[in-house]
Structure 1
Amino acid sequence: MALEELILASKHLGTQEKFLVYLPERYSPLYSYPVLYVQDGQDYLSMGRLATLLEEMHQAKEIPDLIAVFLPVDKSLRYDRYHPDGGQHQAYLRFLADEVVGAIDSRYSTHPLGSARTLLGESLGGVVSLFTALSYPHTFGQVACQSAAMDDELNRRVREIDLTVPLHIYLEVGLEETAVDTKRGPLNLLQSNESLRDILQTKTVTLAYKTFAGDHTWGYWQANLRRILLGLFG
């Protein structure tokens, strides 16, 4: 299994950004592929073992072949980029929707429609995935959030967004995620994700909402990835 490393000089962020691209074993430029954009890319590779899972599911023909783009983040910049109040948040959203998508579409054989682009993230990575899709619904048609670190203020902002383009959104949260330690203090993510579910049901969204018996840790997120991929692509 090969991962290609790309380095992009981002005009929006003013930095050199590195990301890793997984290509299915049967990749051919004669076909067009959907693309999965993964926040916390290094964690999804090492702790989520997502590239290995994709390879297994492709070989078993459980899901169609797809390209995955793993976007690492410097942990010291994670809040700035991923949280809507972060200093680099808007620039990071533009970087994703404009520069990363442009680079992938120009280099690989991809489906040109937004419905073939999916965002995936956990915790604060789920927050930035959701807000990217809501901000650029023509660019990204699907989003999956694992234990998104939402709160009342972020849910209020989602409620106020006038979404006119249909999105497919997959939410999951653990039943034990009722006091998760964050920079913003302890958050009841079970409650905030239930509220987010109710808000999204009032919008042009096809929604899948799942709970799992567990807490805010990678063991559960990794175990649920097969279910998520089947829900998005199966």
Structure 2
Amino acid sequence: MPLNEITLTSNFLGTTEHLLIYTPERYSPLYSYPVLYVQDGEDYLSLGRLATLLEQLHREKEIPDLIAVFLPVDKSRRYARYHPDGDEHLAYRRFLAVEAVGYVDRHYSTHPLGQARTLLGESLGGVVSLFTALAYPHTFGQVACQSAAMDEALNRRVAEAELPASLHVYLEVGTEETAVETSRGTLDLLAANERLRDILQTKGVTLAYETFAGDHTWGYWQANLRRMLRALFG
């Protein structure tokens, strides 16, 4: 399948970043495509098999053709970039919204409106996806979080933020995610995501909330991708 690896120098991060860009089989510069920006890009490719699923859904005409940008992350920098208290977090958000989006829009045929850009992530990748969408509401119109690693403090920040009514949010969490071990200690992600759902419902955004009978592992996230993509793009 078409998967192009590009190297992008980030002025915000002061690093060289690698992006893996999936284009649909029928890609043509004569058309404009929505774009999905994927955190933990290598995991979504290898463990989530997301590019293969996109090809299948496109061939079955279950979702429109789209471009997907897979953003790998050095695991040692994951907290620094993905958590709002991380020392690279603001720079990473700027990299996403300005440099990554700018590159993709210049080199591919994309829809120019924010509603055609979606952020996706699991666990802490869901957190950075959500907070990037909140910081750049005109750039990203949709965000999807699989088992977002939220806690009381992060939910409080969402509650205090002004959210655009045009934002579409997809949340899912496992009913067994009540004691997930993280670098911040043991988190009840089921309760935290239920609280996030309640906060978002007061903000006027378009919200889809799903649960699944499972825990904080890739087997469940991979199995739920088809449902998620239909909800976002179907």
Cα-to-partner distance string for 1:142-175 (whole Å, 9 max, x where unaligned)? 0000000000000000000012352000000000
User: 48-57 vs 155-164, which deviates more?
Assistant: 155-164
Q: Which residue of 2 aligns with 1:95?
A: 95
- Distance, in Å, in 1 between the alignment partners of 2:77 and 2:43 is 15
- Contact between 1:124 and 1:148, CA under 8 Å: does it hold in 2? yes
Identity %: 77
Q: After TM superposition, which residue ranges in structure 1, 4 or more long, deviate above 3 angstroms?
A: none
- Distance, in Å, in 2 between the alignment partners of 1:145 and 1:103 is 24
Per-residue deviation, 1:11? 0.2
Cα-to-partner distance string for 1:80-115 (whole Å, 9 max, x where unaligned)? 000000000000000000000000000000000000
CA RMSD of aligned residues (A): 0.5
- Contact between 1:137 and 1:165, CA under 8 Å: does it hold in 2? no
Per-residue deviation, 1:204? 3.0
Report the TM-score, using the length of structure 2 for normalisation: 0.99
Cα-to-partner distance string for 1:178-197 (whole Å, 9 max, x where unaligned)? 00000000000000000000
Q: Which ranges in structure 2 are unaligned for 5 or more consecutive residues?
A: none
2:180 is paired with a residue whose SS is coil
- Distance, in Å, in 2 between the alignment partners of 1:31 and 1:122 is 30
Aligned length: 234
Report the TM-score, using the length of structure 1 for normalisation: 0.99
Q: Which residue of 2 aligns with 1:82?
A: 82
Q: Which residue of 1 aligns with 2:62?
A: 62
Q: Give the partner amino acid of 1:59.
A: R
Query: Using a 3 Å threshold, how does the CA distance of structure 1 residues 165 and 12 change in structure 2: closer, same or farther?
Result: farther
Cα-to-partner distance string for 1:196-224 (whole Å, 9 max, x where unaligned)? 00000111310000000000000000000
- Distance, in Å, in 1 between the alignment partners of 2:5 and 2:219 is 27
Q: Which residue of 2 aligns with 1:185?
A: 185
Q: Which residue of 2 aligns with 1:73?
A: 73
- Distance, in Å, in 2 between the alignment partners of 1:15 and 1:233 is 33
Q: Which residue of 2 aligns with 1:24?
A: 24
Q: Give the partner amino acid of 1:171.
A: L
Cα-to-partner distance string for 1:13-63 (whole Å, 9 max, x where unaligned)? 000000100000000000000000000000000000000000000000000
Q: Which ranges in structure 1 are unaligned for 5 or more consecutive residues?
A: none
